[in-house]
């Protein structure tokens, strides 16, 4: 972890499948919407924030702002489960 940063536990709530080229939803148009990745599934996660960013995020949420993040392909890493199965 970088100096002056801290990890903040968050919940990631799966929302949609979006086609990269068009930016349009493809939810329900293929087998992608089956299994664990369907609307409403929640995952535990952590993000690393610089000093004060956690308060900025919290204040925005208190004002009914909904932060939305996109998961970028390079951030995916093979888990121990995948390596052994």
Number of Cα atoms under 13 Å in the Cβ half of residue 36: 4
Would you place residue 74 in the very low, low, confident or very high pLDDT band (cuts 50, 70, 90)?
Answer: low
pLDDT of residue 77: 64
Query: What spatial distance separates the first Cα and last Cα of the chain, rounded to whole Å?
Result: 29
Q: What phi, psi does 39 have (nearest 5°)? A: -55, 125
Question: Average of pLDDT values for 22-32?
Answer: 83
* SS3 (DSSP) at 59: helix
Domain extent for 34: 5-84
pLDDT of residue 78: 61
The total of structural domains in the chain comes to 1
Distance, CA of 12 to CA of 39 (rounded, Å): 11
């Amino acid at each position: 972890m970088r100096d002056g940063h801290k990890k903040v536990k968050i919940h990631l709530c799966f929302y949609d499948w979006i086609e990269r080229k068009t930016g349009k939803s493809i939810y329900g148009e293929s087998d992608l919407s089956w299994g664990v990745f369907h609307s409403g599934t929640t995952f535990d996660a952590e993000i690393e924030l610089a000093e004060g960013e956690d308060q900025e995020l919290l204040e925005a949420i208190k004002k009914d702002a909904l932060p939305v993040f996109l998961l970028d392909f390079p951030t995916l890493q093979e888990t121990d489960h995948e390596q052994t199965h």
